[in-house]
Amino acid sequence: MAKKAQIVTTKAKKKRAVARATLRYPGDGSVRINGFTIDTIKNKYLRMVIEEPLALAGDLAAKVSVEVNVHGGGVMGQAVAARGAIAKALVAVNEDLRDVFMQYDRTLLVDDVRRVEPKKPLGRKARAKKQTSYR
């Protein structure tokens, strides 16, 4: 009798970017972001950031299929959010990876709670104020 496939859904955030990952285990080792394979990402640094949890997972990465939907924020925020969602899904499949991810980088499993501060009156930004002239 074949083992039933395990499906895990996770969510991660970075600033305004929200990523939702669906991991299928066992899978064919594919990683898709917003319907596109990860190889279509031209920026090597962004691709490397997203693939970090898969590289740390070792041979488990070849046995899972990951589908990530990410929206909001900028390119880097989306990449970090996708990275976190993938890492959380891998930990849900294999609990031993939690220590590996925490030693490597805590932000893989813990979302960054910092947000942009709202703009205040009489200022151009949140903290900058209009310069006063005394003459």
pLDDT tens profile 78-119: 999 999 999 999 999 999 999 999 999 999 999 999 999 999
Mean pLDDT, residues 52-62 taken together: 93
Mean pLDDT, residues 24-47 taken together: 94
C-alpha distance from residue 30 to each of 86, 121, 123 (Å): 12, 49, 48
Fold classification of 6-108 (topology level): Ribosomal Protein S5; domain 2 (3.30.230)
Q: CA 25 to CA 91: how far, in whole Å?
A: 12
User: Considering the entire predicted model, what is its pTM?
Assistant: 0.89
pLDDT of residue 1: 47
The two beta strands, 17-25 and 31-33, are unpaired
How many CB atoms neighbour CB 20 within 10 A?
A: 17
Mean pLDDT, residues 42-61 taken together: 94
11 burial via Cβ count (<10 Å: 0-12, 13-18, 19+): middle
Domain residue ranges in the chain? 6-108
Structure tokens at 57: 């997972």
| Cβ atoms of 50 and 79 closer than 8 Å | yes
| Cβ atoms of 31 and 68 closer than 8 Å | yes
